[in-house]
Structure 1
Amino acid sequence: MALAVLNPQVKSSLSGSAFFDRGSIEEQGTPPPLRSYLCLTIFTCFCPAYPVNIVALIFTIMSRNSYYQGDYEGSRRLGRNALYVAIASIIIGLVIIATTCIVHFTTMDF
């Protein structure tokens, strides 16, 4: 008897459709994949270009924070910056290592 008293608006609110808009979640889709290059920036921390390594790591952390806050475009931009700085760090590190080896082996007395 009590079910006959309920009108359709109450039924829809009890099912949750009036409070929770399911259409907006389905329209959003899945978020893009996270591209923060964390493994690469951790690897660059072993290169001898220390200030540049730290900058790449900070860009990676900022990219991950932006992604988890829902700013996917900002996350992608910061991740790309982290990639470029990490590559620059690797190149600078290789140049430092090569220069050190050249100077060391050319100044040795046999």
Structure 2
Amino acid sequence: MSQHRPKSDSKRSLDGSSEAHIEDDVPEEEIQMPPNYLMLTILSCFCPAYPINIVAFVFSIMSLNSFNQGDIEGSKRLGRNAKWVAIASIIIGLLIIAISCVVHFTMERS
């Protein structure tokens, strides 16, 4: 048989009444989800830089999946990548729109 004496707080009552335990009073530390910039990447999908904004969207989804699997550092890294690629996509898209407007409105019509 076992030679150690069971701790008094490990015993439970037989009538099923709930007893407060020290472990139950301490809430588990919740890990806050790092930003994955999903809304920014969805917004960048409306810019005409399609290969780049799709990559940003994929990084954002990978960041969310990485957090769900418990990889916090990987989720932060992928979230930062998603943010910078989405910003680059928006800037490139705005440049494409500006250049196409300049070309369209400066052409002479015959």
Return the TM-score normalized by structure 1.
0.75
Match of 1:48 in 2: 48
What fraction of aligned residue pairs are identical, expressed as a percent? 58
Q: CA RMSD in A?
A: 2.6
Counterparts of 1:49-88 in structure 2, within 5 Å, are 49-88=49-88
Runs of 4+ in 1 over 6 A off after TM superposition: none
Q: What do residues 13-70 of structure 1 show as CA deviations (whole Å, max 9, x unaligned)?
A: 769xxxxxx5xx96x7221233100001001111000000110000001000011111
Q: CA deviation at 1:12?
A: 1.9
In the other structure, the counterpart of 1:105 is 105
Within 2, Cα distance between the matches of 1:44 and 1:62? 17
Structure 2 residue runs of 5 or longer lacking an equivalent are 14-22
Aligned residues: 96
Secondary structure of the equivalent of 1:75?
helix
Which 5+ residue runs of structure 1 have no aligned equivalent? 1-6, 16-21
The secondary structure found in structure 2 opposite 1:90 is helix
If the length of structure 2 is used for normalisation, what is the TM-score? 0.75
Change (3 A) 1:13 1:60: farther
Contact 2:33 2:67 (C-alpha < 8 Å) held by counterparts: no
Higher helix fraction: Structure 1 or Structure 2? Answer: 1
